[in-house]
Structure 1
């Protein structure tokens, strides 16, 4: 019952609030662009216009609406021309036995190599290679057909590029506000997950990943904005890193309790936590709604929204203190309330330097874009080939898979065989585990999409009405990319099946759907076999290096936070003698270390998940690595609330934490022979003066120390646990 209520609440929130974070307006524009050629194909009985519809969809798929119009025109026209040349060459080469197969492998190799330049250039290269492979699988050949397919593809690409720039556009402020709204929605989802299961270890893992991705998107949108940005958006960006630190601390604090759930004190504590976090999630959602509705969102409105929550948290803390629990429970509860209060008041203060920092970020981004010409891209591709890098091996693997897929599609002129080549091109990934994961998701989405498209084709007999049905499907395809891969494939399959049905209106819709599913299964089999046999990339070999890198990054961050500075040596130049400048520099450097540590831990978690997909039996090393990953993540969450916590710590607390930084750093860097002695020293230090040793009567006197002593105790516990499991991962 609780699960159903929580699920119903999450669904209602997604429908009423979360739908605004999806790019519906741009998706509708893309849907209109993709549907127009299909409608013309049905009205004029010109099946080749369906090929233009596919080209238009691919052009919309790889269009970066956040860049300058000139760059969008160049990239769109270049993609259209390259795709048209690939399609024409594939069909022209079909007249020579074996030539189209060899060229399909060469185009796949070149297209996959471009992925080393980033996700969007890699997508463009993959789509051009896919256009070649799909046309090579078509049962047509000859110069006349090659010219027509090339021209129709170019026409579709030019049409989409022109419409993407000519139809309704969105200002930089609108994009920034949309990205900030998506960040606030992810932030509210993350806090809501913590409120639903405050005693669960994995309750907010998916929301944490979405939160980080939303933060990157918001930062990129604000950085790329050419003009002024709304103060509320600047405020949230300036506070985002600190908010992430406080949320990591809250999550770690919630997971640190190990008392029996049936105890009355524990139940009261969890109820209190749940109520406070629910109020915080509601306040964040209210801030998101104000940001979306207000013509000129202001930071003062954010402070007004968060003030009632801060008052509620203070009342909850006072009522909890009146119960007079043990000193340990009071310290833990005091720490939790302190973090929540700091999170609530984070965006309330004005930031006079935010304009300066935003301008500096924009200048740095412009300089970075200017320093990346085509020559650098060519050098990166050549370096991949020379060093046999990850993307070079992926390119060779994709080339082999493309040649096999095109051969099977052309063998006996398999019906709808180009779908086999299409599936193979998209499911082959740089590693075997990624290929397996994408394959499983694509099979499910393809089956659901084929059923949906077949039902539409059976219900709608008019070709023009069937073409109009492509509009919602294309819109859903472009919008579903921000939701999940399965929903994206569901709409994508339905969209392509209807386009193909209009292009070749022969046979029953169910026959077409079954043919699509069978060819998809064959394409998945080819892709998985190629990933397994052709220079396979195994994640299990990356486990040790990923664990060592995560340990190094977390160690550097923990030591920096405990010391209160990011480096041991301070700059004594006259310019750096001002305390405010030094504090700002330290905060910036520590935030960078925290982000690096979080990314390293996330990378380790990704490697562990991939390793489990590769192995059919239990992997003890991966199990120990999983424990290490959880402990490292907890260490980051434990110390992150100390960022900028000078007001909550006295000189004695700072001295103790600085000494702890030295001991913890030595333990995390120690060899196998040194770990035993260092663990004994830390255990002795932890037992001499723990939180439980402070009497309840001394709580008022030592209130400021509880915060530091709790963190000290948790850091020692986490460092000892890490030192115990590290040998099983690194020394295995």
Structure 2
């Protein structure tokens, strides 16, 4: 039980952070990737120290940034992306260092194209976008190392050697098991589902503390699990072989999620809390089964016997009780049994995993999307401002400021400010950590040994949480600099430069921002449309089907998008101006529609085309009201299929009226554009 409690605590913290746009993915801790990158970096730092050649630090920079640009997945994709970074970074390092060797003014002018062009990397997908960001980082660092053309060429050659060393080590020498990211991603989904199931046992809290407490907890879980499922789908699509096999596990996990949604809906609608009868007893066994599923899915060869036996026993007991609640639990257990069956088939199959689905290239396009172009222009301007200010202030290690500007400035304003906060907090904590290490271990050999775990931690946590990543990244750069360019005050310089660069990036977002992305009304319209489409599909069908799963998934994604925007706007201080309390009421009502629809989908029912059409008509009028300010429908709808669904749709309509009626469409659009 202690493992379950530890997992629950970890994912409770993660889902709280995710609610406020601070990414937290504990499943993405890559220990082996971290150790491999640490070896690549530390070996080159040791060589620079041994030879007494500080310029060899550029080989360590190249190796580290190459490891950061590694997108994972198929080797063909990795080679292309790493090749783009190695070649682009080498050319950029030469041009930037040579330009800086002429004069600071020429260096500043050179930064414009050297930052703008990599900023267009988003045209070709997230993998190239990441490589482009790191090439821009190479540019802003290289201008702080002015060289004559011949020396600049040597510097670029050293950088290229570091990149090639990392590529050889990562792709050809030390190959990480190719299915590890997929297993970690699916394990995260199972762990979050176990956390959700454990919380359902405490569902009586809404009887003691009010329904709002339950609604908030339930929405938080559903948002976190849906995000984890979609994140896992994206990771699995990058698996070189076996994407179909792992996708089947994710689909089964999605059905577990559906069963828990239905169980939560039944608990919330009870007049009394769960007692010590059969329903609580059956539900209490579910977290144990999910914990077993989590333990096994993280193994290279999952053992299915224990999970299958436990699932079969619990499934028999659920069928013997046969209530609405136990049918929901039974649907969850059946999905677990299906996962165990997948493991059995894998263990006995001659061809262990199905072939990969085709595709997965760089997605090259000729036309640059306007948002990517605007971001590249804004990035180039911000970097020039940061470079000029750092030169004017005569900052030591000023490239840390321009580097912070590059990595903080994001295409969307809503993602720039949390990145800014995380960068500053991580820099302060990392600076303190590095200062403590330098005080306790001033000897070069000791510092060299410490660089290994620090570099490993930076790479291992790079996809987990940005603040944690920056803590170790800051400590790493400070320690490497202290080894190769020892001066006083390096940790303090890193902190000051990072804060300054982060604030410049945020200022550029606020001053040069062009509104992008949908407004709250547009996202609410999409969420209403998706959730009511799911309700109509359930009413018009009998039993469960993959088509209903697709409708449910679309409803969850739509609600998640609107809820994340609502949370971000609340943190930006727009709660009253943008009517976020009323928006929150609409979203809670939509969660009720999804819960009632999922519960009905797992029950014995007759299909009703007329009732489904009634729901669709209600949806069309509501969507029109959100998108174009049309009149709101009457709250009551004609639907005899489910009183529960009728009640929740009435709640959505009343909440929409509260959100829309007090403000005109023009005013609401102005509020939406404030994000």
Task: Tell which structure's C-alpha radius of gyration is larger.
Answer: 1
User: Hey, what does 1:130 align to over in structure 2?
Assistant: 137
Task: Identify which of 640, 657, 660 aligns with 1:724.
Answer: 657
CA contact under 8 A between 1:37 and 1:52: conserved in structure 2?
A: yes
Q: How far, CA to CA, are the matches of 2:391 and 2:87 in structure 1?
A: 25
For residues 260-409 of structure 1, what are the structure 2 equivalents within 5 Å?
265-266=272-273, 268=275, 276-293=282-299, 296-297=301-302, 299=304, 301-310=306-315, 334-349=323-338, 365-366=357-358, 368-369=359-360, 376-377=364-365, 379-381=366-368, 384=369, 389-409=370-390
Deviation at 1:525, TM superposition (A): 1.9
Aligned to 2:534, the other structure's residue is in SS state helix
CA contact under 8 A between 2:243 and 2:354: conserved in structure 1?
A: no
CA contact under 8 A between 2:35 and 2:456: conserved in structure 1?
A: yes
Task: Identify which of 652, 675, 679 aligns with 2:635.
Answer: 679
CA contact under 8 A between 1:557 and 1:597: conserved in structure 2?
A: yes
Q: Pick which of 671-680 and 588-597 moved more.
A: 671-680
Task: Identify which of 164, 167, 170 aligns with 2:170.
Answer: 164
Alpha carbons of 1:273 and 1:49: their partners in 2 closer, same or farther (altered >3 Å)? farther
Aligned to 1:469, the other structure's residue is in SS state helix
Q: Deviations over 1:583-619 (max 9, x none)?
A: 9xx8333322322222222111222233334446722
User: Hey, what does 1:497 align to over in structure 2?
Assistant: 478
Alpha carbons of 1:501 and 1:603: their partners in 2 closer, same or farther (altered >3 Å)? same
CA contact under 8 A between 2:123 and 2:372: conserved in structure 1?
A: yes
Alpha carbons of 1:7 and 1:399: their partners in 2 closer, same or farther (altered >3 Å)? same
**TM-score where L is the length of structure 1:** 0.77
Q: Does 1:66 align with 2:76?
A: no
Deviation at 1:238, TM superposition (A): 3.8
Task: Identify which of 225, 235, 245 aligns with 2:258.
Answer: 245
User: Hey, what does 1:693 align to over in structure 2?
Assistant: none
For residues 246-645 of structure 1, what are the structure 2 equivalents within 5 Å?
246-256=259-269, 265-266=272-273, 268=275, 276-293=282-299, 296-297=301-302, 299=304, 301-310=306-315, 334-349=323-338, 365-366=357-358, 368-369=359-360, 376-377=364-365, 379-381=366-368, 384=369, 389-411=370-392, 413-507=394-488, 511-537=489-515, 542-564=519-541, 587-615=545-573, 618-643=576-601, 645=602
Unmatched tracts of structure 1, length 5 or more: 260-264, 319-333, 566-582, 687-707
Deviation at 1:680, TM superposition (A): 4.0
Q: How far, CA to CA, are the matches of 2:241 and 2:564 in structure 1?
A: 38
Q: How far, CA to CA, are the matches of 1:39 and 1:274 in structure 2?
A: 60
CA contact under 8 A between 2:431 and 2:495: conserved in structure 1?
A: yes
CA RMSD in angstroms comes to 3.7
**TM-score where L is the length of structure 2:** 0.83
Task: Identify which of 142, 154, 160 aligns with 2:148.
Answer: 142
Q: Deviations over 1:621-643 (max 9, x none)?
A: 33322222222233123212444
Q: Deviations over 1:509-551 (max 9, x none)?
A: xx21111111122112211211111134377x72222222222
Alpha carbons of 1:12 and 1:398: their partners in 2 closer, same or farther (altered >3 Å)? closer
CA contact under 8 A between 1:470 and 1:495: conserved in structure 2?
A: yes
Deviation at 1:459, TM superposition (A): 1.0
User: Hey, what does 1:184 align to over in structure 2?
Assistant: 190
User: Hey, what does 2:16 align to over in structure 1?
Assistant: none
Q: Deviations over 1:1-34 (max 9, x none)?
A: xxxx9789726999xxx98863212221122112
CA contact under 8 A between 1:50 and 1:502: conserved in structure 2?
A: no
Aligned to 1:369, the other structure's residue is in SS state coil
Deviation at 1:166, TM superposition (A): 3.0
Q: How far, CA to CA, are the matches of 2:494 and 2:592 in structure 1?
A: 47
Alpha carbons of 1:127 and 1:187: their partners in 2 closer, same or farther (altered >3 Å)? same
CA contact under 8 A between 1:427 and 1:524: conserved in structure 2?
A: yes
Alignment: residue pair count: 631
Q: How far, CA to CA, are the matches of 1:726 and 1:400 in structure 2?
A: 39
Alpha carbons of 1:527 and 1:677: their partners in 2 closer, same or farther (altered >3 Å)? closer
Task: Identify which of 209, 215, 240 aligns with 1:201.
Answer: 215
Deviation at 1:65, TM superposition (A): 2.9
Q: How far, CA to CA, are the matches of 1:392 and 1:523 in structure 2?
A: 22
Q: Deviations over 1:663-685 (max 9, x none)?
A: 22222222669977742455xx6
Task: Identify which of 26, 31, 47 aligns with 2:33.
Answer: 26
CA contact under 8 A between 2:574 and 2:580: conserved in structure 1?
A: no
User: Hey, what does 1:321 align to over in structure 2?
Assistant: none
